[in-house]
């Protein structure tokens, strides 16, 4: 998220090193961007920085200043690698069902291989092999 840090200590690097999913508090996210205090503009910048790093997060309302009007450094979000992997497909389908093929994303979790596209089948094999 920031260019001042050693790449191995960034939240993005930590997330990827831990398999693409990590829980982080707002204090750590704020510090990585170099801010001393949390506020609505910092929440917006954190959300934008995560997106630039191809990371998603949930629950989304924690980084939404309209919902989180009094952010605290101890509040946490789950950060995930927002790639085309099975995890990201499922999380994105749940978070944004109007923008995703929910059935196809959730079928990745089942043994209904016939419901998967060829690319999804390959992704599932890659995910299993990578584990």
Q: Which of 29-33, 46-50, 52-56, 108-112 has the lowest mean pLDDT?
A: 108-112
Query: What are the pLDDT digits (tens) for 52-95?
Result: 999 999 999 999 999 999 999 999 999 999 998 888 988 998 89
Place of tokens 């170099």: 34
Residues with Cβ within 8 Å of residue 109, at least 6 apart in sequence: 86, 90
pLDDT, position 113? 52
* pLDDT at residue 43 tops 70: yes
Could you tell me the CA-to-CA distances from 74 to 48, 70, 77, 88, 123 in Å, in that order? 20, 12, 10, 25, 35
* 3-state helix/strand/coil string of 85-107: CHHHHHHHHHHCHHHCCHHHHHH
């Amino acid at each position: 998220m920031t260019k001042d840090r050693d790449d191995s200590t960034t939240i993005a690097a930590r997330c990827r090193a831990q398999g693409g999913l990590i829980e982080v508090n707002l204090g750590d996210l704020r510090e990585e961007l170099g801010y001393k205090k949390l506020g609505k503009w910092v929440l917006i910048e954190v959300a934008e920085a995560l997106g630039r790093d191809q990371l998603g997060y949930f629950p989304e309302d924690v980084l939404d200043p309209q919902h989180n009007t009094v952010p605290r450094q101890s509040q946490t979000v789950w950060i995930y690698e927002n790639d085309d992997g099975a995890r990201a497909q499922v999380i994105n389908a749940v978070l944004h069902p109007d923008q995703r093929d929910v059935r196809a994303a959730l079928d990745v979790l089942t043994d209904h291989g016939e419901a998967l596209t060829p690319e999804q089948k390959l992704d599932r094999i890659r995910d299993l092999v990578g584990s």
